[in-house]
Amino acid sequence: MTGPLVLGIETSCDETGIGIVRGRQLLSNTIASSMDEHARYGGVVPEVAARAHLEALQPSIERALTEAGVTLDDLDAVAVTSGPGLAGALMVGVGAAKGLAVSLGKPLYAVNHLVGHIAADILTSDDRATAPLEYPTIALLVSGGHTSLLHVRDLTTDVELLGETVDDAAGEAFDKVARLLGLPYPGGPQIDIASADGDPRAIRFPRGLSKASDMAKHRYDFSFSGLKTAVARWVERAEAAGEQVPVADVAASFREAVIDVLVTKALAACEDRGVPRLLLGGGVIANRRLREVALERAAAAGVAVRIPPLSLCTDNGAMIAGLAAELIANGRGPSTLGFGADSTLPV
């Protein structure tokens, strides 16, 4: 496998990710997470995340280089997530990337985090040979920081944002509902465990932005704050009535509501756009029930689903390096050093 040797830096949320690729070949992918430090707050605290990136960056870069068996001098380029994400967290990565690129005299590529998630799918490694990503494809990216639906006609030149969450991200909703059910952070895996013995049809929680009146304007947008409030009200009512809260049923019904909306809107986009392919990404894809429902309903709709391995679905530096390597292969020049961190960077 040939191609440019690129080191990618990802610091948009709570994961300090350093990845090294040679073209599409994944050489190393180190991830240091500050998740434990956020646990007692029940969610990511931007200031804490930024400080953790500052501490984790240098040792992570060294580890990634060692694991890839290369040195800084070998690199052809440096890549970094410039947005979207938490402003302070992004700034740490952007600053480090600029310093590294300038001191090494190497080109620097500023890339978009969401497009990076799509690029995760093209990476290959010794234990992962993948068929090339076919275009066009619809991509559904769900994590603690974002919930976005995209129409990808070409990874490097033509990615269209169809819709995104208007309030909480899907993972954030899992975290908040877990908290109100007395479950620890991060809530996604906890809700999954709690749901195991629950009935997903026990309680009919609202599907955000799914009513006919909402669909006209927000067909591809998501909203999870109303769902979170509905769960809170349901639990409060049960407690006020002196009933024992059936945590398994509440968790399973909540999970089903989130998954239903995600899969319904993603498949609607596939149908509307005549695109028989759906790519899934982001940390919430760890949810087995989500994968199950997506695969089942996509198969019924004649849509082929692609899911990268979980280590490439959660935030990581390899996807950022991989996207930059693709840009280089397509003749795109580096970024000028004037760019900054942009928390709302469009695709």
Give the interface segment with ligand KG4, choosing from 153-161, 170-178, 202-210, 300-308 (CB under 6 A): 170-178
> Tokens 């899969």 label which residue?
263
Rounded to a whole number of angstroms, the minimum distance from the CB of residue 173 to ligand KG4 is 8
Residue 311 in marked binding region: no
CA–CA separation, 262 and 249 (whole Å): 20
Name 5's bridge partners. 22
Residue 144 in marked binding region: yes
Q: What is each CA distance from 251 to 44, 237, 284, 297, 340, in whole angstroms?
A: 22, 16, 15, 22, 40
DSSP string, 244-309: PP-HHHHHHHHHHHHHHHHHHHHHHHHHHHT--EEEEESGGGG-HHHHHHHHHHHHHHT-EEE---
Partner from Zn ion, ligand KG4, none contacting 208, C-beta within 5 to 8 A by type: none
Smaller CB separation from ligand KG4, 26 or 259:
259
Binding of ligand KG4 by 284 (CB under 6 A): yes
Binding of ligand KG4 by 175 (CB under 6 A): yes
Smaller CB separation from ligand KG4, 172 or 326:
172
Contact indicator for 278, 140 with CB cutoff of 8 Å:
yes
Which pair of tokens denotes residue 121?
Answer: 């799918």
By CB atoms closer than 10 A (0-12, 13-18, 19+), residue 2 is: exposed
Partner from ligand KG4, Zn ion, none contacting 287, C-beta within 5 to 8 A by type: ligand KG4
Binding of ligand KG4 by 14 (CB under 6 A): yes
Residue 192 in marked binding region: yes
Question: Looking only at residues 170 through 199 of this chain, which bind Zn ion when binding is defined by CB under 5 A?
Answer: none
To 10 degrees, what angle do helices 87-104 and 46-68 make? 30
Residue 95 in marked binding region: no
Q: What is each CA distance from 74 to 6, 7, 10, 19, 24, in whole angstroms?
A: 9, 10, 20, 14, 17
Q: Where are the beta strands (DSSP E) in 88-142?
A: 108-112, 137-142
What stretch of H or E contains 80? strand 77-83
Rounded to a whole number of angstroms, the minimum distance from the CB of residue 308 to Zn ion is 12
One-letter amino acid for residue 56 of the chain: A
Binding of ligand KG4 by 187 (CB under 6 A): yes
Rounded to a whole number of angstroms, the minimum distance from the CB of residue 314 to Zn ion is 7
Rounded to a whole number of angstroms, the minimum distance from the CB of residue 244 to ligand KG4 is 25
Partner from Zn ion, ligand KG4, none contacting 174, C-beta within 5 to 8 A by type: ligand KG4
Rounded to a whole number of angstroms, the minimum distance from the CB of residue 22 to ligand KG4 is 25
Binding of Zn ion by 15 (CB under 5 A): no
Question: Looking only at residues 22 through 61 of this chain, which bind ligand KG4 when binding is defined by CB under 6 A?
Answer: none
Binding of ligand KG4 by 186 (CB under 6 A): yes
Smaller CB separation from ligand KG4, 23 or 171:
171
Binding of Zn ion by 315 (CB under 5 A): yes
The order of strands in the sheet holding 108-112 is 25-33, 15-22, 5-10, 77-83, 108-112
Among 30, 81, 143, 316, binds Zn ion (CB under 5 A): 143
Among 23, 93, 283, 308, binds ligand KG4 (CB under 6 A): 283
- Binding site, by residue number, is 113, 117, 141-145, 175, 188, 192, 287, 315
